A = this chain, B = another copy of it.
Amino acid sequence: MAAGRTIAVLGGTGDQGYGLALRWAKAGERVIIGSRVAERAEDAARKIREELGGQGEVEGRENPAAVAGADIVVVSVPFSAQATTLKTCKDSFREGQILCDLTVALASNIGGPATRMIVPPHGSAAEQAADLAPKGVKVVSAFQNVSAEALSSLDEEIDCDVIVCGTNDAKPVIRELIAHLPGARYVDGGPLYNSRIVESITALLIGFNIRYKGIHSGIRISGIPAN
């Protein structure tokens, strides 16, 4: 299933990045956890291998080394760290790589509630990623609405559509990664510009999780034919 490719998950020590790395490693993808500190990345990689009973091709590296070793770079860091992370990795990217951004500018990044958004200078976190990514890197956004808790529980279905915005010829690859998440479904979200709406849905879902105590809410788009 790995198709010879490697996925770097920057911020793979955090809840959502960890959950995705876990799911993808379980599905047979080769994964590199990226972190600012190599030891923390290695710890997370070890934990994934343990959860998978010793299976799983997962290693941990500092972010720039993770980017250098990957075909697909998944950015799953707090919005407040996104620009710095991408700048740090600037020289490690190469043409043709896919950058899949998961960042959401929740107001919790500035000490506010996670149920509200701040407006990024580019309109969306994904557009900021596109501005900071070196030329020739194919930028998409996806997975922002997927519950970290659901991802981390390997026996839980992912009851959520994944709306993918951005570079069209990267979408089939992201679609393959979505297919590794049982229950999740790929939906074409159009241009990267639309990510500003998809990102804000995350804040809305966090509000549902609070109001409807203890749930892991997700989003489904109705009316789209089965694919």
- Seen from chain A, the residues whose Cβ lies within 8 Å of a Cβ on chain B are 115-117, 147, 159-160, 163, 187-190, 193-194, 196-198, 200-201, 203-205, 207-209, 211-212, 215-225
A116 contacts B193, C-beta separation under 8 Å: yes
Q: Which of chain B's residues have a CB closer than 8 A to the CB of A159? A: 222-223
A223-B208 CB under 8 A given contacts A115-B190, A190-B115, A193-B116? yes
22 A-B contacts (beta carbon < 8 Å):
A115-B190, A117-B197, A159-B222, A160-B222, A188-B211, A190-B207, A194-B204, A197-B200, A197-B203, A197-B204, A200-B200, A201-B201, A205-B221, A208-B221, A208-B224, A209-B223, A212-B224, A217-B224, A218-B223, A219-B219, A219-B220, A220-B222
Query: Hey, which chain B residues are within 8 Å of A205, CB to CB?
Result: 221
Name the B residues within 8 Å of A207 (CB-CB): 189-190, 194
Residues of B within 8 A of A203 (CB): 197
Whole-angstrom CA separation of A160 from B163 in the bound complex: 17
Residue among A193, A223, A225 with most chain B CB within 10 A = A223
- Chain A interface mostly helix, strand, loop or mixed? mixed
CA gap between A224 and B201 in the complex, in Å: 15
CA–CA, A193 and B207, complex, Å: 12
- Out of B117, B163, B193, B208, name the residue touching A187 (CB < 8 Å): B208
Which chain B residues lie closer than 8 Å to A201 at the CB level? 197, 201
Please determine whether A215 and B225 come into contact, CB atoms closer than 8 angstroms. Answer: yes
- Residue in chain B with minimal CB distance to A218: B222
Q: Which 6 A-B pairs have the closest CB atoms?
A: A220-B220, A217-B223, A159-B222, A218-B222, A215-B223, A197-B204
The answer to whether B223 touches A216 (Cβ under 8 A) is yes
Contacts of A222 in B (CB 8 A): 159-160, 217-220
A26 to chain B, nearest CB (A): 22
CB-nearest residue of chain B relative to A203? B197
Assuming A115-B194, A160-B222, A188-B212, what are 5 further A-B pairs, CB within 8 angstroms? A163-B204, A205-B221, A216-B223, A217-B221, A220-B220
